[in-house]
């Protein structure tokens, strides 16, 4: 009798733990759904009262006059993301190739953790450095009205995410099986030809995933951009004028949310901006995830 009871108790306990763990595991899904729910809930009023299309395509952002159009934010974010990504790839990819293919084992042992460490520098610190060093440098050098500009934001974001870019790309390059490279070298190709025509194509989906993830991080980065971009939401004129102030999705939310009264139209519109941002970033995350899944299938155990 006693034994049976213990057995039953044990079974119950096991079952209870499994259910608890399942509930915990589903929490992350729930959190994601909750985030979506609250952002939709708070931004619904803006979409309904202003109309989704006029809100998204309005060319003027002027909260004081209750005029809200997201086009300036979209344009600015797009320009900043493109330039930042360009800088990011230009600096990060050569560094990754250097670490994966050219560096000796000893320098690699020092450099790789150092770069991983640098990925942790908080964005507010980058913002601080940006405002003290970069902004004043740009202002003096290019004789700008103010150094806080789209250019400053792009440069800062580009540099900030170099460690991420380098780390992920290096892992992708290193995941390419050695046989591929050895085969190419044995056929008489030199090292650069091997990297260019064998290693990089084989690692391309990993590099693509890195780029997509970095686009998401660049669009979503807040504090550094908030401090250096100037926070004037208008479409730059001419459109390639990167030496003027701008405002991105994130900088508008972070810069204006502190001052708006709750439940005003401005408040709801800022949530709408957040919702648009969330949609963009979620799509990017899912695409990156699918890309990585494809690599796993392609290379099997690597």
Instruction: Tell which positions 176-215 bind another protein, by CB under 8 A.
Output: 189-193, 196, 213
Our CB check for another protein shows the closer of 154 and 217 to be 217
To the nearest whole angstrom, how small is the minimum distance from the Cβ of residue 73 to another protein?
A: 13
**275 and 52 Cβ atoms separated by less than 8 Å:** no
To the nearest whole angstrom, how small is the minimum distance from the Cβ of residue 286 to another protein?
A: 6
Three-class DSSP labels, 108-173 = HHHHHHHHHHHCCCCHHHHHHHHHHHHHHHHHHHCCCCCCCCHHHHHHHHHHHCHHHHHHHHHHHH
Which region among 44-52, 63-71, 122-130, 170-178 touches another protein (by CB under 8 A)?
122-130
**246 and 79 Cβ atoms separated by less than 8 Å:** yes
CA distance 205 to 287: 11
Residues 134-163 that bind another protein (CB under 8 A): 140-145, 149, 159, 162-163
Q: Is 263 in the site for another protein (CB under 8 A)?
A: no
Residues 26-85 that bind another protein (CB under 8 A): 26-29, 31-32, 34-35, 38-39, 41-42
Our CB check for another protein shows the closer of 35 and 65 to be 35
With a CB cutoff of 8 Å and minimum separation 6, the contacts of 4 are none
Q: Is 102 in the site for another protein (CB under 8 A)?
A: yes
Angle at 43 between CA 39 and CA 48, to 5 degrees: 145
Our CB check for another protein shows the closer of 58 and 220 to be 220
Size of the site for another protein (CB under 8 A): 102
């Amino acid at each position: 009798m006693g034994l049976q009871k213990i057995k039953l108790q044990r079974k119950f306990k096991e079952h209870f733990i499994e259910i608890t763990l399942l509930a915990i595991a589903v929490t992350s899904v729930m959190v994601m759904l909750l985030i979506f729910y609250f952002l939709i809930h708070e931004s619904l009023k803006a979409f309904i009262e202003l109309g989704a299309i006029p809100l998204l395509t309005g060319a003027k952002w002027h909260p004081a006059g209750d005029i809200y159009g997201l086009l300036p934010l979209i344009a600015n974010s797009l320009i900043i993301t493109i330039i930042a990504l360009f800088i990011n790839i230009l600096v990060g990819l050569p560094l990754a190739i250097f670490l994966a293919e050219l560096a000796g084992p000893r320098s690699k042992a020092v450099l790789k953790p150092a770069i991983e460490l640098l990925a942790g520098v908080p964005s507010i610190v980058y913002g601080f450095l940006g405002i003290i060093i970069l902004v004043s440098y740009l202002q003096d050098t290019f004789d700008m009205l103010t150094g806080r500009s789209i250019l400053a934001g792009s440069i800062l974001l580009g540099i900030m995410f170099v460690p991420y870019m380098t780390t992920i790309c290096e892992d992708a390059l290193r995941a390419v099986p050695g046989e591929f490279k050895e085969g190419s070298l044995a056929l008489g190709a030199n090292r650069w030809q091997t990297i260019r025509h064998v290693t990089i194509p084989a690692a391309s989906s990993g590099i693509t995933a890195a780029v997509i993830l970095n686009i998401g991080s660049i669009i979503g980065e807040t504090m550094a951009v908030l401090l250096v971009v100037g926070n004037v939401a208008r479409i730059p004129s001419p459109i390639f004028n990167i030496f003027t102030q701008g405002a991105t999705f994130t900088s508008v939310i972070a810069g204006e949310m502190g001052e708006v009264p709750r439940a005003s139209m401005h408040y709801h519109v800022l949530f709408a901006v957040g919702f648009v941002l969330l949609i963009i970033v979620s799509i990017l995350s899912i695409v990156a995830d699918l890309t990585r899944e494809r690599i796993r299938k392609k290379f099997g155990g690597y």
